[in-house]
Structure formats: C-alpha cells, structure tokens
Structure 1
Amino acid sequence: MKSIFKKYITLCTLAFIAFGCEKDEDKVIVSPGATASLSASQSNIVLSEEDKSKDAVTFSWKAADYGYDAAVKYSLQFGKKGDNFATAKTEEIGNAFSKTYTVSALNNIATEMELPGFAVSEVEVRVTARISDQYAASSSNIITLAITPFLSEPEYPTVFLVGDATENGWDNAKASAMFRDEADPFVYTYTGNFKAGPFKILGYLGKWAPQWGASSTGDLVFRATDSDPDPSSFSIPANGYYTVKLNLRSNTITIDPFEATGDMYASVGIIGPFTNWENIAPMTKSTLNPHIWTTEYTFAEDTEMKFRIAEGWSVNWGADSDATKARTYDKGKRDGPNIAVLAGKYQIYFNDLTGYYLLVKQP
C-alpha cells in the first residue's frame, strides 16, 4: 500500500513539474528598455504662411523590440529644449513608423507650445512606444529641431515704448503705444518727439515681459518671460523727432530721424453719429509729442467716425483703405471716407503727422 502511495506521489510530482515546464515555455518575456530609433528629414525648419500646404518635415523610426511580436502604439512628443518634456505636446501616431507634418500642422503645434512667431526656437522631439497600460512606455533617442513658426495675426494689438527717451520714463504702466503699419500688422511704428536716452519696447502695459531690447551689437533681442535675461536698451542719440519701427517678421528694429513739418493743432477729436456730426469728442494731446492724441471712448453700437480739429471741417482725417471694413488700425488720410467702427470700448490713438490711428479694444 505504501509502495502504491509513493508511486502516486511521484507521478503527481512529475506531472506538476512537467506542467510547470510547459507553462514556462509559454511565458512571454518583455525585454526591458526596448526603444525605437528616431530621425527627421531636416533639423532647421522655417515655416511660412505662403507654404502652409507643403510638407515641412517627416519623422521616421525603427520598430521598438520587445522580444516578441508585440502590438506597439507610437506617439511623438514635442518639448521645449531644457523642459525635459514636462509640458510636452503629444501626438498619437498608432502603429505607423513615420509621420509627415505639413507646414500648417507643424505651425499649429508650435502655436500650442506658445513658441514666439518669426523667431528660432529649439524643440526636442522623441517617439515613445507602448504595448500596454501595464508597462511603462519606452522612449527613443531625442533629436533637436530649430523651428521658426509664423503667425497669421500678431499676439499684440499694440506694443509700448518705455524709457528715458519717452514721455513717461520707465513707468511701464504709462508707456507710449506704437501704431501698426497699414500694410503689415507685424510692423509697429512710432513717429514723434523723443528725448536723448535709452528705451525698450514692451508687449503689454505694466509688464516687463514680453519685452524687446538690444544685444551687445545692437540687434533686436526678445525677452519672453521675467525669468529670461534682461536685454540692453536701444538709444536715441539726441533730442528730436524720430521714427522707430519694430518688425516682428524679420525681428529687426530701425531708428531714423524724422523731419517734422506738420501744422500744430490746438484740439483734435473724434466725430460721428455719436456726436451728431457736430462737435468733436476731444482727445488728449501728449505733452512731449504735440502730434499724438489719445482718448478712451465707448461706442454703444456699430458706427462711423472721423478725426477732426475742433474748429471745423477744414482739417479732418478719414479712412485710406476700404472704408466699409472696420479696421482697428490704419493710416488715415485727409478728407478720406468715414472710418467704420464696431461697437465697444476702445483706447484710441491718433498721430496727426502721419495719419496713423489705432483702436485697442478694452475689457
């Protein structure tokens, strides 16, 4: 009896071992650290609106090796250089081994990453591979791209001059607004009287960043945040009239002397149906720049307006371009057609030397 029992135990043990060995043979071993290998068709990419339908870059990678025929899902991640992908933009790709982005699509990614327009930014890209939520995704090598995005519209309704050369010095809450070029919304211009001394350009009133200043060689430098290095100032060489022009497409600035020969007016204002086309709603003249006028005004409904001196219609400025289309900036002309304005509250700027006007919507 004992002999039979021992034989039974032995057979069970052998069967258990055999079953266990068979299961070991069926186990899937996931190789740790399996990675894909990433490459890009180009590394220096300048994006332009004219080419938005064209291909910008193609990313390719070799399959990640997990030690068996796995169903792998890939993602591309785009991160600002030095951010360690902490705030990366992730694009799900599926099981493909390449991805081509058009200029428009890549520019959209750059916009979502809040990269500055018309400026070179370094972007790190990697591909991640995942077989299951139970396993951590593996990452490829990191490649770095130099991407220059474009903008269809500038982020800034206007920008502001601040510094010793300007009317209110370094008070960033009272900086002087620049006008926008009638043909190119990315060009900001200011023609007026300056004091000799330094100045910078701010993106918003009351904030020191974003900001544009000068490099050691006088080139334009963009300071995106307060944590970025503070650039040097530009300089007005002597008291007098100048035109300062900031071009955000080419990232350049010019400072040119200006011969101010225009008439001086005692009072300029806005006029339209909201004043019954009779008397002007007067604007405030700049102390340093007697050709620059400002006011805040709320239009209760869509309307029309002109700029006019207080004394009558002998001197007035209207629209220079399509008068039927409401524009918040333009270069007005003497005796031009009425300027279309949409309802709302605006800070209004006007330069009677150049005819430039600007309406900045207020909250």
Structure 2
Amino acid sequence: MQTTYKNILRRNSLGRLPLYFMAILMGWSVQSCSDDYDDVEIAMGEPVSISVSGSEIDLTQKQADAEAVSFVWTTGSNMGTGSSISYTLELDRAGNDFVSAMSYNMGKAVYQKTFTHKELNNLLLDYFGVEANTAVELDARITANVAADEVEVQTATSQVTVRSYLPVSETLYLIGDAAPNGWSADAATALSPDPSDPTTFSYQGPLSAGELKFITDLGQFMPSYNKGVDANTLVYRTEDAQPDDKFLIEESGIYAIELNLVDLAISIEKQAGPAYDVLYMVGDATPNGWDIANAVEMTQNPDNLFQFTWEGVLTPGEFKIPVNRNTDFGQDMFMPQPEDPSKAFLHEGGKDGDYKWQIENENYYYVTLDLSDMTISIEPFELYIVGSAAPNGWDIGNATPLTQDPDNWYIFTYEGNLNAGEFKFPVNQNSDWGQDMYMRDPLDASKMYRHIGGDDDDSKWIIAEGDAGSYILTLNVQDLTIDIQKQ
C-alpha cells in the first residue's frame, strides 16, 4: 500500500497536505491493508494520436484564405506525473523520415493546426520545391513532450495527399490611353481584388475611347494580361515576341470591368453615368450664403462619377444643392427627403416644396452626395491622437479622440497620460493609414501642418525618456499651432 499513497500524494496539485489530513489518510491505509482491500488504480491516459480533416486536398487560389486542411491531435499522457505536455507538429514529404521537415512549435494546450489553401501551397512550392499543379504525399507527425525526465516522448503520424496550384498575381493594374492615367506603368490604376476570391479583380469608373490592357506590377510593362481570342478572353503575356493585343473602348463613359486570372475570363460593360458632372451648394449655412451665382462648387469623384464631395466650414443654418448657378432659382435641386434627411431627392424647378439640410453647429464638415443611391453624409471634423506615446499606441482603429471646443470648432484638446515615444493627429480612424494628419512642423515644435494622405512626409512629436506623464495638448487647426503643457 505504500506505493498507493505515494502516487496519491504525488498527484495532489495543492502542494503539501495538512498534517491532520495525512493522519486520516494513514489511518485509512492501515485499515485498508488490514481488511485486504485492493490498491486504487489510476488511469494513465492514452498515448498521443493525430488525425487529418481530409485525405486528399486540391488546393486552389480562389479559396486562398479558406481552410484547406486541419491536423488534430489528442492530449497524450503524462503517465500520472502531473507534468505539462507541449507539442511539436512536423510536415515532410512522405517516406522522408522527417529529415527535412517543416516544424511548428505548438506550445501547450494546443491540439490543432489549420492551414489555408495559400499557406499550404506556399509551403509546397517554396519549402518543399513541389512543382505547381502536382500532387504530393505529406507525412504529418505530432510529438508530445512531457516535462518529466522519466516519461518517454510520444509520437504519432498521419498522411495527406495535396495538389498544388500555380499562383497568379495578387495585384492588377489598368494601363492604356483608355485608362485614367494613360500608359504610365508607374501611375497605373489599381483594380480591386474580390475579398472572397483573390483571383477575381474589378474596376468601376471612367474610361476614355482608346485601348487598354492589364499589368501585375507598378512600373513593369511585363507580365501583362492582354486580349485573347475575343473580347471576353484574357491571355497571359510574358515576352515581347508574344502578341500585344489590347481591349478596345469605343466611346468614353463609366465602365465596369471584372476579370478572373485563373479562368482567363473578362467582361467590360458600359454603365449608365450620372446626369450631372457638376453640382453646387447654396444656403446661409454655406460660405457664400444665398448668393447662388457664387454657390460653392462640389467636386466630382474621378473614381466614382456618381459621388460629389465638398469640405469646409458650415455655420448654423441650412443648404440645398442646385444643379447650376442660375440666379432665378428655378432650376432643379437636390433636397433632403422630409422623412429621412440622410436621403436626397431631385426637386424639379418650379414645383412646390422647398426642403433643406439643417446645420446646428459651426464646424468643418465633409459632405458627400451619392447619386447612385441618393444618399448624403454630412460628417463633422474630428481629430485623434495616435503613436507610441498615445494611450492606445499605434492601434489607429482605436485612436484616442480629442475634445472639440463647443464654441470654437477649430480648437481641440487632449488631457491625459503620454508615454515616452512619438505621436501625431489623424482626422479619422481608418486603418489604411491613407488619411490626412496633423504633423509637427520640422522647424518649430509649437506649430503643425496638415499632411495630405499618401504623401511621403511623416513628422511626429516626441516625448523623451523621463518626460512621460500627464499632459494637456491644445491644437488650433486654423492657426496651425499646438500648445504642449506637462502637468
């Protein structure tokens, strides 16, 4: 019976047992032995095993980010030692005895490893040197390492057959005299990949009469995707000696392009364009008031001709959007729907009804009218702090907002802790980092300038080591000044 309570004591995860409990346990043991009871048997658990979600996997780039295969293993056994178990997963070509395996340290309490189509295909092509469009058998081995010298290492294996694919480009650009930026390969227009299928790309926007084709890399005319046997077919061109046929756009307009680089299929369709190429804002909320002859002009988005934007200071009052600057006020105008001011409708000149958007507070606003769905957004100016010195670091999606002065829209303050590090002030929390930001004047830290999103400059304020603490920052975006006071 001595072995029995040694095992019991060793399994006690609470540490040393109280003396009174040990006395009870010893008494129980003596009575048990005298009564000839059997020893308590404690199950040791099963050795580690591994399974795979499928035996044959055809990888495809169309499902690049989707799960391709998952390896799942059991916990294994620590043989009653109470010691932790860590796991290592290895993949190698079948029959290679794992001498050149790719190894993954999975750590503790992890019992699954999943690979996407893209991850597994990259492993096949880049690590194992498998040819594209080739089926290969892989051995998978899981190793369970128990943190106790007296317990042997446990392993288990499984096998899966995987067929690789030849990846196509993850980027695509439009060039040609029909394209917005002409034949410049450096300034070629990017197409958007489909989030659910990265081999499909699309573009919607203006095209001029002329020719076009597609390149995969900025600044490089080769490789390219050109016109194939007809206007709905692509061909992949990698050499100058190959035909350089291009798609023909017969007349200018708004077009929708969708193509797939695996299927080598393309559609180019002309879309109905907006009825206007210029709109205006008029009203006592706007800079030029009701002077319709000088109504402020909205900007048509060159990438989406249905969108018209304006940004600037609006004061308490109202406005509407005429289609021209005729001073008789008899023209058509876009006005808010009475029941939903986030929606617009086209009021015909001379008809009854005169609805306007209302502005309650003076502020700098971003106004966007979208004629494709007849919606309008009127967003006030905001300011945030981001950087290693800021409360939420470089997590721009959670950048800390500044407080806007209710009486002076252009004055913003931040009051709180700043760490040693650097900071700047974006105008929104967009995670693409392409927005405008207020940055430090390189010649004067008490001044700032508005960085235009996409430009190369990146000047930040710095809190030195030892200067971390509570601060009050006051920014004036009209005077472009900043006051930094440590509390």
With the shorter chain as reference, the TM-score category is 0.3 to 0.5
Larger radius of gyration: 2
* TM-score, structure 2 as length reference: 0.33
* TM-score, structure 1 as length reference: 0.40
With CA pairs under 8 Å and 6+ residues apart, which has the higher RCO, 1 or 2? 1
